[in-house]
């Protein structure tokens, strides 16, 4: 189970251009790793656009933003291009990383149970340690909360 104070589990995933991106590529920087269910859905689009709009503020505090979902590279490319996202979207089609980070969970909609990504944000510090976990994220106001937590970290 992912815990604050422990190392963030290492991973390598393809970005929207199919290029491999690893957690260790960002050593020495703060990392905002946000897990979201699906490209082009209303909540996920809102969250991505909120991170996009606050992107300069994250840059000022030496933080990178990485979005992760099980969607394929092609879907991420379309999503990133459509909304002009200035940060990496990583494709976890095999669901290895969402499982490592404990965000692949049983969900329920209209009484039907299914497996999916529980919207979660993880802040990892410059040394690779998990500083803060935001489980079951509500999109409205979330980006401001994350920015505040980074400034305090």
Mean pLDDT over residues 14-42, rounded? 96
Catalytic pick among 13, 21, 32, 44: 44
pLDDT at 108: 87
Number of C-beta neighbours around residue 11 at 10 A: 17
If you classify domain 28-152 with CATH, what class do you get?
Answer: alpha beta
For 61-74, what is the mean pLDDT?
A: 97
Please, which residues have CB within 8 angstroms of residue 49's CB and are 6 or more apart in sequence?
A: 83
49 is catalytic: no
Which residue bears the tokens 């590529």?
A: 25
- Asked if the model's pLDDT at residue 4 lies above 80, the reply is yes
3-state secondary structure 110-133: CCEEEEEECCEEEEECCCCEEEEE
- What average pLDDT does the segment 4-27 reach? 96
């Amino acid at each position: 189970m992912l815990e604050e104070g422990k190392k963030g589990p290492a991973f390598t995933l393809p970005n929207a251009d199919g290029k491999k991106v690893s957690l260790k590529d960002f050593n020495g920087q703060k990392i905002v790793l946000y897990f979201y269910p699906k490209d082009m859905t209303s909540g996920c689009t809102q969250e991505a656009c909120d991170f996009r709009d606050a992107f300069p503020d994250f840059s000022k505090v030496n933080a990178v933003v990485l979005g992760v979902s099980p969607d394929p590279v092609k879907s991420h490319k379309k999503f990133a291009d459509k909304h002009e996202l200035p940060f990496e979207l990583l494709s976890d089609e095999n669901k290895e990383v969402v499982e490592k980070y404990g965000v692949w969970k049983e969900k329920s909609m209209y009484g039907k149970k299914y497996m999916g990504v529980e919207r979660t944000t993880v802040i990892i510090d410059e040394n690779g340690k998990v500083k803060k976990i935001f489980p079951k994220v509500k999109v409205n106001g979330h980006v401001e909360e994350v920015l505040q937590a980074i400034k305090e970290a």
